Structure 1
Amino acid sequence: MPESRARAQHATAAQARNLRKEYGSGETAVTALKDVTITFKEGEFTAIMGPSGSGKSTLMHCMAGLDSVTSGHAFIGDTDLSTLGDKELTELRRDRLGFIFQSFNLVPTLTAAENITLPADIAGREVALDWYQEITSRLGLTERLTHRPSELSGGQQQRVACARALVSKPEIIFGDEPTGNLDSNSSREVLNILRTSVDTDGQTVVIVTHDPSAASFADRVVFLADGEIVDDLRDGSMEDILATMTGLEEEK
């Protein structure tokens, strides 16, 4: 058992308790999450899957403090997000979390290097030079650091986004379809980067994905349907994951 998995058996990185999210009100109200309770352990790679409209992105956004909840609680470590004001939430996302999105979210006027250090620069923090050099080297970005996003391929842009998420050593990295805009080779590169960050650095990673191949890189795959957790698969093969997803799609 890798060290990361052994450690993952005890410490909690993030947790949802009876998390409920509703949009609208009255007869037009839509319930996206129905009292979801789940725990993500430190040093573990988790993928969240489900049919379109199942609530998977909503769950991640609520747990990462990107969206408010209707009722229930979301925790990062021991911090209850419902007790934080807007400024405190912004600081928590900046200082304790890392994000990787489908659309890369790079600032087009900044170089790759400036994009990587941007969150730390905004916070007025120094980035550890040794760690910065290790991450950019590991991600194959050393020769691309002076390039702007328009001068990089999609895969290179997402590697910059990964470096930005990893360089501050956040408590947890959230990814919303991080390989959704990439070809298969670039997707594997990004997923191997995340897998290595878990196995080598003890990082905690949670991604939302529709791709069974991407989910197969994870230690654990959580399946949602109609706003509820309906399955929780550990160390499953791509075939296991695909079979579970196919079953959920057929039931919908």
Structure 2
Amino acid sequence: MTVTDQAAVRAVDVTKTYGGGQTQVDALIGLTASFGKGRFTAIMGPSGSGKSTLLHCLAGLDRPTSGQVFIGDVEVAGLSEKQLTHLRRDRIGFVFQAFNLVPTLTALENITLPLDLAGRSPDQQWLTTVIDTIGLGDRLQHKPSELSGGQQQRVACARALASRPEVVFADEPTGNLDSQSSADVLGFLHRSVREFGQTVVMVTHDPTAASYADRVLFLADGRLRSELIDPTAETVLDTMKSLDPAVAG
């Protein structure tokens, strides 16, 4: 990232330690990284590399043991639980592998749920744009049980974007989907960056999913090991092979 780029999210010398003594696990070790506004960044690494821990620390779902995380110019670790709740509600969107839709609500009600809980009215023009982009305009009154897995995840993506957050964090968003549904969801995230200027930070283990990003960061043993700009599935796989002998095998 060039010095002229603005960072939507920054991690500065972040360490995350679990346990103590002989059972201590250093999930992140002095990790520093920036995530540019209006960019799509994927985070990859072998199992246990710290990628999900990093995502949770960046999104304010977990606090680093030491170091700093910034959303824009706000230092996350210094916030109270109440302030952190407001930050997550107002400035952050989440997409998780398990969809996390409310089964008793329609697709549209699920999309607007974060705004409803915050007591905010949606920007109707923006909401219409998001709904048009996910291509489920004729399914808005359906409950999650009446939607396919790919459709449910697209609803979850729309929910993450409904409040027009500064950054959307996605944790293995295609992990439960077939290849066509994965392509639909990733295409939507890619369009949200290209057309709406959204910032997306995604953890994935899939080289094809990572190829939708502008940039891929590779973690191993809690440290940042490598980086790719304008990745392809092939260059991602080659880099993963160099970090994880199990992939090469």
Interval containing the TM-score (normalised by the shorter chain): over 0.9
Unmatched runs of 5 consecutive residues or more in structure 2: none
Identity %: 59
Give the one of 141, 153, 159 matched to 1:158.
Answer: 153
Query: What is the count of residue pairs matched by the alignment?
Result: 247
Structure 2 partner of 1:107: 102
Structure 1 partner of 2:169: 174
Report the CA distance between 1:132 and its aligned residue.
1.2
User: Does residue 129 of the first structure (1) align with residue 127 of the second (2)?
Assistant: no
- SS of equivalent to 2:104: coil
User: Does residue 78 of the first structure (1) align with residue 60 of the second (2)?
Assistant: no
Task: Check conservation: 2:149, 2:176, Cα contact below 8 A.
Answer: yes
Give the one of 6, 23, 29 matched to 1:11.
Answer: 6
What letter corresponds to residue 131 of structure 1 in structure 2? W
Matches within 5 A, 1:1-252: 9-250=4-245
Unmatched runs of 5 consecutive residues or more in structure 1: none
Q: 1:21 to 1:15 in 2, by over 3 A?
A: same
TM-score relative to the length of structure 1: 0.95
Deviation digits for residues 151-173 of structure 1 (CA, Å, limit 9, x no counterpart)? 11000000100110111110000
Taking only aligned residues, the RMSD between alpha carbons, in angstroms, comes to 1.5
TM-score relative to the length of structure 2: 0.96
Report the CA distance between 1:126 and its aligned residue.
0.5
- SS of equivalent to 1:193: helix
Deviation digits for residues 198-250 of structure 1 (CA, Å, limit 9, x no counterpart)? 11111100000000000000000000000000001101221110001111111
Task: Check conservation: 1:9, 1:41, Cα contact below 8 A.
Answer: no
Distance in 2 between residues matched to 1:238 and 1:183, nearest whole Å: 17
What letter corresponds to residue 133 of structure 1 in structure 2? T
